[in-house]
């Protein structure tokens, strides 16, 4: 059996609820001219297709443990895909200007606490099943902590205090940008035609 603690279940419920709230906000709030990229749609579609196919493969055989392993693999792959663009963007800009390091520090703390919990449980149970019995949890924490370390090094060591290479803008230009950001997308503008 895969060792599952109550806090693992609570964290999963928490993640599902926050994701549902985020999706609800995406649905109700105006996005202006922002669109989801075709690459993102493709990646998410492939993930859902793989999950659906694997579900129907597992259904007649009652291979639920295998299905959970597939879902864990999808989660690890999606997490890796989620982090790579930000790491590359920070590298190309040689700056973390505008990047929120707070969530990364919280994520890093959670990953380290997760490993601590697994070690304590393994010592208590005199078994390492917490690690090899739940490889999805271990890999997910490993990927998250790995990218968190990259972001922390980028923010506090490599690009500390560096602004992005974009041009400095005046207050008047900033006001114009802010005006364009809050303007409704259904209003036509001579600059947008």
pLDDT of residue 168: 55
Quick check: helix, strand or coil at residue 52?
helix
Q: How far is CA 137 from the centre of its chain?
A: 15
Report the distance separating Cα 177 and Cα 141, nearest Å. 39
| pLDDT recorded at residue 167 | 46
Sign for the pseudo-dihedral over CA of 124, 125, 127, 132: negative
pLDDT at 148: 96
Q: Give the model's pLDDT for residue 158.
A: 92
Q: Which residue blocks in the chain are alpha helix, DSSP H?
A: 6-28, 38-61, 64-93, 101-125, 129-132, 135-153, 171-182
d(CA 191, CA 193): 6
What pLDDT is stored for residue 125 in this prediction?
Answer: 86
Q: Are 130 and 14 in contact (CB under 8 A)?
A: no
- Measured distance CA(30)–CA(185) in Å, rounded: 8
Which residue reads 């959670």 in tokens? 110
Distance CA 104, CA 83 (A): 11
Residue 193, pLDDT score? 44
Neighbours of 151 (CB within 10 A): 22
pLDDT of amino acid 166: 56
The CB density around residue 175, as the number of other CB atoms within 10 Å, is 11
23: which 2 tokens? 């999706």
**What pLDDT score does 84 carry?**
93
pLDDT of residue 37: 85
All residue ranges of the chain with pLDDT < 70 are: 1-3, 163-193
Torsion of the alpha carbons at 116, 118, 119 and 124, rounded to the nearest 10: 120
**What's residue 190's pLDDT?**
52
């Amino acid at each position: 059996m895969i060792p599952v603690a109550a806090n693992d279940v609570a964290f999963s419920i928490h993640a599902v609820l926050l994701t549902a709230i985020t999706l609800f906000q995406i649905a109700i709030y105006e996005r202006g001219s922002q669109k989801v990229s075709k690459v993102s749609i493709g990646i998410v579609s492939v993930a859902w297709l793989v999950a659906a196919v694997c579900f129907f493969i597992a259904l007649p055989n009652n291979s639920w443990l295998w299905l959970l392993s597939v879902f864990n693999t999808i989660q690890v792959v999606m997490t890796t895909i989620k982090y790579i663009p930000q790491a590359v963007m920070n590298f190309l800009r040689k700056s973390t200007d505008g990047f929120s390091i707070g969530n990364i520090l919280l994520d890093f703390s959670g990953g380290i606490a997760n490993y601590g919990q697994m070690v304590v449980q393994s010592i208590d149970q005199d078994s390492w099943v917490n690690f090899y019995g739940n490889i999805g949890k271990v890999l997910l924490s490993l990927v998250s902590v790995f990218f968190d370390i990259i972001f922390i090094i980028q923010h506090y060591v490599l690009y500390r205090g560096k602004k992005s290479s974009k041009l400095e803008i005046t207050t008047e230009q900033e006001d114009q940008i802010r005006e364009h950001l809050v303007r409704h997308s259904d209003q036509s503008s001579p600059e947008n035609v």
